[in-house]
Amino acid sequence: MFDNLRDSAESSFYEEEPNDLYKEPTPQPVAARVPKKRRGSSRFLGMTAQQRFFISLMLMVTVCIMGTLALFVLGKMSL
With CA atoms as reference, report the closest residue to 69 among 59, 54, 61.
61
pLDDT for 8-36, tens place per residue?
A: 666 655 555 555 666 666 777 777 777 77
Query: What residue segments make up the domains of the chain, in order of their start?
Result: 47-79
Contacts of 77 (CB under 8 A, 6+ apart): 68, 71
Is pLDDT at 5 greater than 90 in this prediction?
no
- The CA distance from 44 to 64, in Å, is 25
**Residue-level pLDDT at 44:** 76
Return the pLDDT at 41: 63
